[in-house]
Amino acid sequence: MKIGAVSKASGVSQRMIRHYEAIGLIATPARRDSGYRDYSEADAHRLRFIANARDLGFPIGEIRSLLGLWSDAGRASSEVKAIALARAEDLKHKAEALDAMRRTLMDLAVRCHGDDRPDCPIIERIAGGLA
């Protein structure tokens, strides 16, 4: 399989496939005489794993760990669970931070006339009116 095919099969862009290779997330694939990368089904599967992990919000470092756990048939499920729970916790914090900003903005927005008048509590707050 050439890179275009494995890209379609895995849903990972060619750009990112080469990137993952560069950072050692996937093994350097075989090369044809032409220099073209040649991938196996296993490579496609591994890339799909990476794409799924990314969609769940895992950063590269943790995906690296997960890949190791995936290929380690004897590892304890507790190891995987710990990583997942830590990730969930992190996502929670990030979502809460975003929501806090959103609430602040909405609080300001409802107090803003939103018409032709220039006075605006939103700008005032950003300018330092009430930190």
Partner DNA sequence: CTTGACTCTGACATGATGGCAAACTTTATA
Partner DNA sequence: TATAAAGTTTGCCATCATGTCAGAGTCAAG
Tell me: does residue 115 bind a second copy (CB under 8 A).
yes
3 or 26: CB nearest DNA: 3
Residue window 53-92: x/- pattern of binding to a second copy, with contact defined by CB under 8 A = x-xxx--------x--xx--xxxxxx-xxx-xx-xx--xx
Q: Looking at 49, 60, 61, 64, which residue binds a second copy (CB under 8 A)? A: 49
- Strands (DSSP E) contained in the chain are 30-31, 37-38
Q: Are 12 and 47 in contact (CB under 8 A)?
A: yes
The phi, psi pair for 30, rounded to 5°, reads -65, 160
Instruction: Using CA atoms of 100, 105, 108, 111 in order, give the dihedral in degrees to the nearest 10.
Output: -110
Residues with Cβ within 8 Å of 51's Cβ and at least 6 positions away in sequence, in order, are 10, 11, 12
Residue window 6-45: x/- pattern of binding to a second copy, with contact defined by CB under 8 A = ---------------------------------------x
Strand partners, 30: 38
List residues binding DNA (CB under 7 A): 2-5, 7, 13-16, 18-19, 32-37, 54, 59-61, 63
* Block residue for tokens 């950063």: 59
Given the rule CB under 8 A, which residues bind a second copy? 45, 48-49, 52-53, 55-57, 66, 69-70, 73-78, 80-82, 84-85, 87-88, 91-92, 94-96, 98-99, 101-102, 104-106, 108-109, 112-120, 122-123, 125-128, 131
